[in-house]
Amino acid sequence: MLSTPITKDIDYDKVYEPSEDSFYLLDCFEQERDYLETKFKKNKVPIITEIGTGSGILTTFLLQHILKDGIYIATDVNPNACKSVLQTVRNNCPTQAHLVDSSQMDLTSAIRSNIIDTLIFNPPYVPASEVPDIPVTDEDSKWLDLALLGGEDGMIVTWKVLNNLERILSTDGVAYILFCARNNPDKVANEMTDRGWKVDVVISKKAGWEVLTILRFSRL
């Protein structure tokens, strides 16, 4: 079992605290280690992007255990999260800290097209009447709403990424995205398959009253 990064000294009133969904993604990457190592061993140095890093637990885990020599471009719309990921990387793997950069942006909007080899997203997936507006100040208490609420079917933010996957991923790139049952992951998988993507279920299991599913998207 691979060790879990320590995510301490973070203000969890303003940054999403690692939860069951985050820990399922750690399980997912432990399971995917051979697949990812093999996929990128023969290749150039892989570029890894996590959208919405929160505390930075996932990016740090990947750097520490899975893709140790990759280049990491971490993003979050929340400036507090952008700082937290760098702090978590420094606390857990100081000798690799130079491999991670963190930028405040909407999804991957400031990253060049077709350079991301591994994309990770634990999105705001809770169904809600709307996706909240972006708070104006770093101190706003609404940053946590933005971490959770995903609008209609909890899918508004996730569909923005899926609809743009062709532009985001490199030729042999792969994306890991987490869904709850109310996001209808089966329907999403069918729709993306119809659009020509290979979709694999990496993990699907019960988390309390919720069922969480992690899908892997790659080109055929």
Helix (H, G, I), strand (E, B) or coil at 163: helix
Question: Residues 5, 14, 16, 62: which binds ligand SAM (CB under 6 A)?
Answer: 16
CB of 146 to ligand SAM, least distance (A): 5
CB of 42 to ligand SAM, least distance (A): 29
Q: Does 162 bind ligand SAM (CB under 6 A)?
A: no
Question: Residues 10, 47, 58, 202: which binds ligand SAM (CB under 6 A)?
Answer: 58
The span from the CA of 201 to the CA of 214, in Å, is: 6
Q: Does 80 bind ligand SAM (CB under 6 A)?
A: no
The maximal CA–CA distance of the chain, rounded, in angstroms, is 46
Strands 71-76 and 47-51: parallel
Site for ligand SAM in 92-131 (CB under 6 A): 106-107, 122, 124
Q: Does 28 bind ligand SAM (CB under 6 A)?
A: no
Q: Does 57 bind ligand SAM (CB under 6 A)?
A: yes
Closest CA to 116 of 160, 158, 178, 164: 164
- Cβ neighbour number for residue 151 with a 10 Å cutoff: 18
Written as one letter, the residue type at 114 is N
Written as one letter, the residue type at 58 is L
Q: Where do the DSSP E strands lie in 56-193? A: 71-76, 100-104, 116-121, 169-180
Residue at shortest CB range from ligand SAM: 52
Residue whose CB is less far from ligand SAM, 147 or 169: 147
Q: Does 81 bind ligand SAM (CB under 6 A)?
A: yes
Span from 33-41, 53-61, 89-97, 203-211 in contact with ligand SAM (CB under 6 A): 53-61
- Both tokens of 109, joined, read 């909007």
The span from the CA of 211 to the CA of 220, in Å, is: 27
Q: What is the DSSP letter of 184?
A: -
Written as one letter, the residue type at 2 is L
- Site track 138-157 with ligand SAM (rule: CB under 6 A), x = hit: --------xx---------x
Span from 50-58, 88-96, 201-209, 212-220 in contact with ligand SAM (CB under 6 A): 50-58
Residues that bind ligand SAM (CB under 6 A): 16, 18, 21-22, 25, 51-55, 57-58, 75-78, 81, 106-107, 122, 124, 146-147, 157
